[in-house]
């Protein structure tokens, strides 16, 4: 049996590969790869971020929720550190808010240590060696990361720490330039010595609390001390003599994928996307629809949904262990955690999360996300697919289209991922190719992109066709994949 990796950056993949070749399991490789993402994909991953992971072990799946939690109170002193910035995406502009008051409690480090405690086989001190080397020596900006840096320049410009890392001779760094994060080296050594409590109950939490009080934020040390990783069963749905293992709360993407895939045999993809997005606007109807379509009561109500700056990787080892992990920092808050070279998230600074207005979030509550790490098992409970994506609200729809391409259209994994996609949002059907609507009368406004775009997500996946394992990274986001061993 081979090792398989699909990821959003070549150095993220190389880190995981080196750990597997050194005898580590998929979960060891995931921890080292995740830590490396702090340098290789710094606008998607950070110690100040959060995420979800689905794991496959002993023919069972489990879901690790280490997403962001809102602060326990809305106390602050003086003016809030909460500033609007405009990000120009070329075709449109979007306003986000940054600053300490935009930050929710991060879950990344708690998630890493929980995975290590439950499933790791190598000492944590060994897992930081490669990430530390990358932080010290630097990682070359590839095309996608350089593009993301350019988009997020207004956030980088809002802090001196950001400029030190991402500027060179007074200019924003470009493709081919090195990104170094020297403070991260000492931070990783600190984690190896102090563990989870060093971050959540020690000087990191204390430093963030002090700055929040002094500068106008909500986070307090108690928020960090009370943070917990939630481990639960996956949301399992029958699908073509297989079992879809989907993300449960606090991911909403799994539920949306289930609705799309349950309706696709009755309606066209375009009609299904319109239906699902229309129901997304009415949370009560969406939940009722989910019950009707699947016979499963999700047992929760919908509220805040996130995120934008997102990446994903999958790792399977020779013993059959596997993990699909998705992570995000939103866009980043422009507040850098002291002595780490890493930003806190800005999950409380995105207007679409806050329908009742900024700072009207419910206290001490796990935020919801569209991030949707996904696995598919066959009748013998053997893993045949693991995947996930970036792309905010497009994530579950991008993944569902890849699943449809694989299991209904019989495409190879690479074909399924690179095939043109469609997405319905704000009463417009976005298409990567006009012929997606061939032989279909569709009376809604549409926009044809005529090229693949990161707007439609970035699905990275591994897949067993029954003949052999396949891996693929989405070219929309410079994804990579490798099989070895």
Residue 310 known to be catalytic: yes
Q: What are residue 179's DSSP bridge partners?
A: 139
Encode burial over 414-436: b for 16+ CB neighbours within 10 A, e otherwise. bebbbbbbbbbeeeebbbbbeeb
Q: Are 371 and 247 in contact (CB under 8 A)?
A: yes
Taking residue 176's Cβ as centre, other Cβ atoms within 10 Å add up to 10
Look at residue 406 and give its three-state secondary structure.
Answer: helix
> Can you tell me the distance from the alpha carbon of 376 to that of 247, in angstroms, rounded to the nearest whole number?
12
Altogether, the residues listed in the chain come to a count of: 485
* Tokens 């309606």 belong to residue: 267
Q: Say how many Å lie between the first and final Cα of the chain, rounded.
A: 8
Backbone dihedral region for residue 410 (phi beyond 0: left; psi -120 to 50: alpha; all else: beta): left
Beta bridge partner(s), residue 386: 375, 462
Name the catalytic one among 15, 272, 276, 310: 310
Q: Are 21 and 2 in contact (CB under 8 A)?
A: no
What are residue 247's DSSP bridge partners? Answer: none
Given a contact cutoff of 8 angstroms between Cβ atoms, the answer to whether 317 and 29 are in contact is: yes
Please, which residues bridge with residue 484 across strands? 3
Q: E strands along 389-439, which residues?
A: 422-425, 428-431
CA distance 149 to 151: 5
For 198, list phi and psi in degrees, rounded to 5: -65, -30
Residues 115, 103: Cα–Cα separation, whole Å:
24
Cis peptide before 250 (omega within 30 of 0): yes
- CA gap 134, 139 in Å, rounded: 6
Which residues contact residue 257 at a Cβ distance below 8 angstroms, ignoring those fewer than 6 apart?
244, 246, 372, 374, 396, 399, 400, 403
- The residues facing 375 across adjacent strands are 245, 386
d(C-alpha 144, C-alpha 222), whole Å: 37
* DSSP structural state of residue 139: E
How far apart CA 92 and CA 72 sit, in angstroms, is 35
Catalytic residues: 310
């Amino acid at each position: 049996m081979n090792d398989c990796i699909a990821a959003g950056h070549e150095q993220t993949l190389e880190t995981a590969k080196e750990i597997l070749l050194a005898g580590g399991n998929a979960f060891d490789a995931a921890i080292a790869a995740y830590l490396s993402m702090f340098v290789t994909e710094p606008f998607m991953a950070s110690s100040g971020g959060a995420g979800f992971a689905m794991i496959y072990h002993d023919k069972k799946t489990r879901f690790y929720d280490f997403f962001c939690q809102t602060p326990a109170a809305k106390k602050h002193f003086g003016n809030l550190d909460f500033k609007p910035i405009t990000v120009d995406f070329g075709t449109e502009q979007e306003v986000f808010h940054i600053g300490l008051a935009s930050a929710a409690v991060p879950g990344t480090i708690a998630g890493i240590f929980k995975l290590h405690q439950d499933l790791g086989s190598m000492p944590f001190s060994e897992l930081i060696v490669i990430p530390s080397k990358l932080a010290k020596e630097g990682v070359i900006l590839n095309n996608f990361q350089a593009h993301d840096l350019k988009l997020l320049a207004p956030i980088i410009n809002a802090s001196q720490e950001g400029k030190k890392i991402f500027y060179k001779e007074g200019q924003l760094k470009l493709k081919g330039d090195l990104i170094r994060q020297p403070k991260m080296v000492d931070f990783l050594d600190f984690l190896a010595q102090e563990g989870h409590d060093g971050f959540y109950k020690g000087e990191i939490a204390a430093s963030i609390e002090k700055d929040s009080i002094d500068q106008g934020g909500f986070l307090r040390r108690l928020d960090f001390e009370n943070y917990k990783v939630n481990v639960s069963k996956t949301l399992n749905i029958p699908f073509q003599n297989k079992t879809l293992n989907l993300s449960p709360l606090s991911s909403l993407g799994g539920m949306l994928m289930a609705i799309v895939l349950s309706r696709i045999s009755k309606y066209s993809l375009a009609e299904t996307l319109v239906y699902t997005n229309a129901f997304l606007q009415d949370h009560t109807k969406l939940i009722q629809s989910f019950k009707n379509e699947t016979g499963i009561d999700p047992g929760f109500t919908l509220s805040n949904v996130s995120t934008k700056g997102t990446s994903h990787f999958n790792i399977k080892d020779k013993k059959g262990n596997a993990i699909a992990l998705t992570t995000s920092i939103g866009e980043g808050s422009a507040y850098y955690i002291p002595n780490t070279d890493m930003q806190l998230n800005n999950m409380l600074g995105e207007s679409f999360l806050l329908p009742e207005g900024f700072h009207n979030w419910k206290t001490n509550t796990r935020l919801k996300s569209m991030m949707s790490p996904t696995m598919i098992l066959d009748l013998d409970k053997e893993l045949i697919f693991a995947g996930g994506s970036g792309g905010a609200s497009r994530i579950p729809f991008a993944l569902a289209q890849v699943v449809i391409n694989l299991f209904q259209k019989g495409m190879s994994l690479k074909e399924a991922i690179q095939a043109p996609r469609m997405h319905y949002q704000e009463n417009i059907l976005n298409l990567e190719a006009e012929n997606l609507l061939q032989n279909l009368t569709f009376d809604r406004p549409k926009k044809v992109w005529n090229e693949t775009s990161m707007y439609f997500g970035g699905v990275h996946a591994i897949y067993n066709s029954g003949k052999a394992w396949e891996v693929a990274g989405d070219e929309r986001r410079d994804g990579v994949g490798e099989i070895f061993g």
